[in-house]
Amino acid sequence: MNAQVFADIFTPVNVRFILLGLRTTLLVSISTVLVSVLVGTFLALCRNYERRLLGRLASIYIEVFRSTPLLLWILICVFMLPFGTYLTRGSLGLALYTSSVIAEIVRGGLNSIAKGQFEAARSQGFSFFQSLFYIILPQCFTRIIPSLMSQIITTIKDTSFFAQFAIAEFFFNTKNLMGVVSRTTPITSAHVFVLYCFIALVYFVINFSLSCVVRKLARGDRSVMLYEE
């Protein structure tokens, strides 16, 4: 392997093409997590505190999506929905699945809060919803931050599924550089090796950085719990 291999691949035009794909990956990941946190929190609240119709529907939603492959839902959304672009449909499929995972993360956080918290809040004149939004949920989200961060890491990696549908995200754009380079230079095993190592490196840098944040938050969370005890 020599410097010419890198010169063939990482031209200014190619780098710009890669960055556009990376931007799409990060935007999809962030928007998916934001939507999933909102929907997942609603599902968790329904499943935990609404035992009638909404609670049952939330339970069915969570169990169906968590028990089936993510790729299946991306396929269904991309090829069966009559609106939006492939990127929009694929993002919807990813958000539907991720919402079910985050719902269980939030529900675990809710269940970790002592039941006496509600009673204490009610004794101070808080209604059920005031107790939930001012006392229970803030404590819940403080405790589940490490788990949510781990899910963000998973979501970033899951966007690579979009490459199967020619959606121009990071994995698809970088992989397709082989076709671009082949127009001017014969592709060798060195070119392939460099490209795939580059893909792995970028995912590693992003996700390892987030993993470090997760570990730091987890240590802080344990310290808070020990202090409370």
Residue pLDDT, tens place only, 61-71: 999 999 999 99
Most confident segment among 48-52, 53-57, 217-221? 53-57
Amino acid at 59: S
- Mean pLDDT along residues 2-16: 83
Is pLDDT of 228 > 60?
A: no
For residue 220, the model assigns a pLDDT of: 61
For residue 184, the model assigns a pLDDT of: 77
For residue 203, the model assigns a pLDDT of: 93
Distance CA 148, CA 25 (A): 18
Q: Which residue has the tokens 């699945």?
A: 97
Is pLDDT of 31 > 90?
A: yes
Q: Residues of the chain with pLDDT > 90: what percent?
A: 41
Distance CA 17, CA 11 (A): 10
Distance CA 69, CA 100 (A): 12
Is pLDDT of 60 > 70?
A: yes
Helix (H, G, I), strand (E, B) or coil at 227: helix
Domain ranges of the chain: 3-228
Find out if CATH 3.40.50.2300 is the number for domain 3-228: no
Helix (H, G, I), strand (E, B) or coil at 166: coil
Confidence of residue 218 (pLDDT cuts 50, 70, 90): low
Higher pLDDT, 66 or 129: 66
List the structure tokens of 23: 């931007």
For residue 201, the model assigns a pLDDT of: 93
For residue 62, the model assigns a pLDDT of: 93
Q: Which residue has the tokens 């938050």?
A: 217
Contact 172, 21 (CB under 8 A): yes
The pTM of the full predicted model, rounded to 2 decimals, is 0.86
Confidence of residue 45 (pLDDT cuts 50, 70, 90): very high
- Mean pLDDT along residues 159-175: 89
For residue 1, the model assigns a pLDDT of: 58
Q: What is the mean pLDDT of the chain?
A: 86
CA dihedral sign, ordered 48, 50, 51, 54: negative
Rg, C-alpha atoms of the chain: 22
First-to-last alpha carbon distance for the chain, in angstroms, is: 58
Is pLDDT of 171 > 80?
A: yes
Q: Which residue has the tokens 């935990």?
A: 48
